[in-house]
Amino acid sequence: MFNTMTRNVLLTPFLIWAVLFIFVPLICIVWYGVTDYDGNFSLDNMSLIFERGYLAALKLSVELALISTVVCLILAYPLCLILTENRRDNTTIISLLFILPLWMNSLLSTMAWQTILESNGIINQLMRLLDLPTFNMINTQGAIVVGMVYNFLPYMVLPLFISLSKIDKSILEAAQDLGANSWQTFFRVILPLTIPGAVSGITMVFIPALTTFVISALLGGGKLLLIGNIIEQEFTFQYDWHVGCALSVILMIFIVMNMLLTAAFDPLKEEGDG
């Protein structure tokens, strides 16, 4: 499309951006992570993950992120199927409804969940009004999962919706012509074709869920620390950049592993995916 010269010129702004704001900070993080306070090379900060119970926090983060991702997938897939089937009707309205939460600051919506789930919160007040038993949801793992699902569901819906709507109707008609019932069509045609969308949806939900610290801070009551909270505390409270960066590097390794893993499940290996 472009010749090499124009291409290079057009790429320059992004390259400058990438070097300044992606590579340089990344190198800084790794540098801080593998040095100690005096600037000597040291892996002590890294090995801290095995002490202080930080490994438990990482494990909890992975668990909750996995649960949230699965919940998002279960919620989003049927929704997207329905959305793409009646494409002519009220698709715009419904899909708008799902993008709408993204317009609101996620901090605010998470705080709203706090007041919804509190023991004197909206749900429990309603339960009391109806003489139903109240329940204790705030400051539990469940509350954090609710917050994650609410915040990250749109990131699952959008790629799934796009990959579903990309499927050519004539392929489905062909499957039916060849005698496939609707279950067979779904499992042998639709599902394989939407795996790329599902894979990017999973990545887009799993990674922010794994690294979040706001949701767990607001809905976990400070009792449940995820790895993100620990990194945040190391920077803001303990003021130990070396430990904070070392933990960030470990988290990044986790994320890269996750991306490699999900990419391995992606049969189409779309170019530039992930």
Interacting residues with other proteins (CB under 8 A): 52-54, 56-57, 60, 118-120, 136, 138-139, 221-225, 230, 233, 236-240
CA distance 102 to 95: 12
CA-based nearest residue to 235, from 45, 78, 44: 45
CB 44 within 8 A of CB 36: yes
Angle between helices 241-265 and 191-211 (to 10 degrees): 170
Q: How far is the CB of 258 from other proteins (least distance, A)?
A: 22
CB of 60 to other proteins, least distance (A): 7
Q: In 10 A of CB 208, how many CB atoms?
A: 18
Nearer to other proteins, 186 or 235 (CB): 235
List helix spans (H) across the chain: 4-18, 24-33, 44-47, 54-85, 91-103, 106-117, 122-129, 141-165, 169-177, 182-185, 191-211, 214-219, 227-236, 241-265
- Name the minimum Å distance from CB 170 to other proteins: 49
Smaller CB separation from other proteins, 86 or 119: 119
**Between 53 and 101, whose beta carbon lies closer to other proteins?**
53
CB nearer other proteins, residue 139 or residue 200: 139
Rounded least distance, CB 235 to other proteins, Å? 10
Q: To the nearest whole angstrom, how small is the minimum distance from the Cβ of residue 30 to other proteins? A: 22
Query: Taking the CA of residue 123 as centre, how many other CA atoms within 13 Å lie in the half-sphere pointing to its CB?
Result: 15
Q: Which is nearer to other proteins, 39 or 222 (CB)?
A: 222
